[in-house]
Structure 1
Amino acid sequence: MSGIKEQVEEFSKKVEDILDKVGQPLKPYIPAMSRLLIVATFLEDSMRIVMQWQDQLTFMEQSRHFPSGLSHLFLGLNVIVMLASSIGIVIKKHQTYAIYGLMGVIVAQAFGYGLIFDMSFFLRNLSVMGGLMMVLSETMVKRKQMFAALPQISETNRRMYLQLAGRILLIFLFIGSAFHGDWSIMRIAVSLLGLTACVMVAVGFKAKWSAMFLVLFLSVLNVFVNNFWSVQHSYYKRDFLRYDFFQSLSTVGGFLLLVSTGPGGLSYDEKKKEY
């Protein structure tokens, strides 16, 4: 049994070395790419509200029974907060406020659009929040470096718990996708493989590998399943597909940031280094 374990570890080390060599040229750009992807859904949503302003107002007032002035205020604040916060995260300015702002938008839209009990919306937004938590944990690393001479115990613990929560929340998009749709032998095999990678990400075992696999898998799945560009502009389903496409991009950004920063202290990978 120990021999098999050693062979697996040796093989995994070789694969890790190969991946490091292949990904080395992209490594400096991964943090910026991941941040842009994480806020992609908010940028798209703000643009969609602006482009469909009258339709959005009609929906809020007729379907959600918002008073006229309140519907304008709700949509306007959503657009302003999403744009300002997204730009803040990308350029790394006032990131903590930006992250809380986007989390507030997610909660406000869940109630405002009446999607609080929509399971697909709920799982997807949990994943998006996971990506935002990964960004928040990264900002704590920067603060720790700036104030290295001061006691950092509570800050370090907060960062580790945020990374753990972020890892767990990120996998909900795949879990929701895995159990949605028609089943086939291929679908079962792919779902089991993906769920295995999700569990590995959650516990922090070979987390960077697993996250990279999910980045590639979700990217391919997103292109084939949420291909809104192939749907007619007049067809209502196009908006839903586009929304799902950019939400999936944001989750991919979260996994990409995990690849860049690592799983954090509360993970199997980090605990193993201590022994």
Structure 2
Amino acid sequence: MNKLEKVFANGKAFIPFITAGHPSLEITEQLVYEMAASGADLIELGIPFSDPIAEGPVIQESTQCALQAGTTTDKIFDMVKRIREKCDVPLAFMTYVNPIFTYGPERFMKKCQELQVDAVIIPDLPYEEHEELRPFCSKYGIALISLIAPTSKDRIRMIAKEAEGFIYCVSSMGVTGVRQNIGNEVEDMIKLVKEVKDIPCAIGFGISTPEQAKRMAQISDGVIVGSAIVKIISQYGVDCVPHVVEYVRTMKNAIATIETR
């Protein structure tokens, strides 16, 4: 069983997202340790990029903050190296095609392997263009996570067939951000996936409350929360760690009682 399989092996997975370098890499490092200790099963680290098209205003702002603070891909790798000396929580990078190609795809994936980064999530890489990166991911054992959205429809089966690690199910249309209501299309999407392949499905985009997390965890294998956490970090800045810890515990507890299917 690899590390990604273990993420979903002990009940419903809670997957928090934070932007690396927001408000600083020192705080990001502390957040990883504390979120892992508070029950996070996999942590998504956003590599900041100047044009994050899938993100809403909250994460866009955090990205600008990280870039202004001088955050670079190499500095993030250095931080992960420090993290790996103390913590083995599964990690995924969420970023865009541009930073990976700028860094060099092979060099990037080799570095991920060295630092035990388990997966990459690339929202602006269409399924049809996966082959541009898949050979490098395969060579270094990095899972290239597939995303599906309500617009994927007929392509869902095709995407599911090739998927690895887990599938990131985008709950609703538009960019990331907190939402009051999350549509039912995501349940139908997951059913389609499971007909093709027995692979974990985690739902992201818009989940912010324990009630939403519980509802989404009932129809999936895990929930991904980004904007709500980034908002807390923006609100409290360098003092954000205890507030994020409390939030992660609350969300993890909300889904911990749900039985796996």
TM-score of the two chains, using structure 2 as the length reference:
0.26
Larger Rg: 1
Higher helix share: 1
Higher strand share: 2
